[in-house]
A and B are shown apart, each in its own frame.
Chain A
Amino acid sequence: QSVVTQPPSASGTPGRRVAISCSGGSSNIGANPVNWYRQLPGAAPKLLIHSNDQRPSGVPDRFSGSKSGTSASLAISGLQSEDEADYYCAAWDDSLKGVVFGGGTKLTVL
């Protein structure tokens, strides 16, 4: 059981918006920036959002991140079929002295 919790699945229809939540505690999300990764089937993870809400170069502005207290959220607007992937949040944990990943959310585009 991860110390950072994500819903195991999410879904949406093309063109709509979907949000994926990430819930942690005071030693991880509450104290440190959150990063988001996308993992397409059979591929390595890719950085999607860092420092809560920053998009690396090349990531479309359809992807946005936010954080409030001990929770964070990844929003994807204008959903596309190629957005079907697993999404992970992660943050440094001051108590564990390591990075904690959420369990991952499998996004299905209906």
Chain B
Amino acid sequence: EVQLVESGGGLVKPGGSLRLSCAASGLTFSNAWMTWVRQAPGKGLEWVGRIKSKADGGATDYAAPVKGRFTISRDDSKNTLYLQMKSLKIEDTALYYCTTGWIFVAWGQGTTVTVSS
């Protein structure tokens, strides 16, 4: 069974930085395309970005609201996905999920990021 465990969330001031992690097990992580999805309080799901497997080039894609501020990376030796967030804005406040593959089969429980002064 695939398990995803996000961590690293917390309270940060506007303009600050935070790095989220997603530890994966139960899958061949190096072969997996991984995605971050977020959900602002009381709102719907929003795609943040994804990273392809190294075998498929390892490229990243980002949603327009986070492009240039967020960076997705992976450490296949640790089966871990990362989301480096910089220049955080109040509107980045959300529950951040990591999920797998093209069709988002497995999801973690999420980690909460609160951007507030």
Binding site for B on A (CB under 8 A): 2, 35, 37, 39, 44-47, 50-51, 56, 86, 88, 90, 96-104
- Determine the distance from Cα of A39 to Cα of B64 in the docked complex, in whole angstroms: 25
Residues of A within 8 A of B45 (CB): 37, 39, 45, 88, 90, 101, 104
CB distance from B91 to the nearest CB of A (A): 15
Inter-chain CB contacts under 8 Å: number:
52
What would 26 A/B residue contacts be, using CB atoms closer than 8 Å? Answer: A37-B45, A44-B97, A44-B109, A45-B37, A45-B104, A46-B107, A47-B103, A47-B104, A47-B105, A50-B103, A51-B103, A86-B44, A88-B45, A90-B47, A96-B63, A96-B64, A97-B61, A98-B49, A98-B61, A98-B62, A99-B50, A100-B47, A101-B46, A102-B44, A103-B44, A104-B44
Binding site for A on B (CB under 8 A): 35, 37, 44-47, 49-50, 61-64, 97, 99, 103-105, 107-110
CB distance from A104 to the nearest CB of B (A): 4
Smallest Cβ-Cβ distance to A88: which chain B residue: B45
Q: Verify B49–A88 contact, CB threshold 8 A.
A: no
Q: Verify A37–B108 contact, CB threshold 8 A.
A: no
Q: Verify A35–B104 contact, CB threshold 8 A.
A: yes
- Determine the distance from Cα of A41 to Cα of B2 in the docked complex, in whole angstroms: 22
**Chain A's interface: helix, strand, loop or mixed, by majority?**
strand
- Determine the distance from Cα of A39 to Cα of B103 in the docked complex, in whole angstroms: 15
Smallest Cβ-Cβ distance to A103: which chain B residue: B44
- Determine the distance from Cα of A39 to Cα of B35 in the docked complex, in whole angstroms: 17
Q: Which 6 A-B pairs have the closest CB atoms?
A: A99-B47, A104-B44, A44-B107, A50-B103, A101-B45, A103-B44
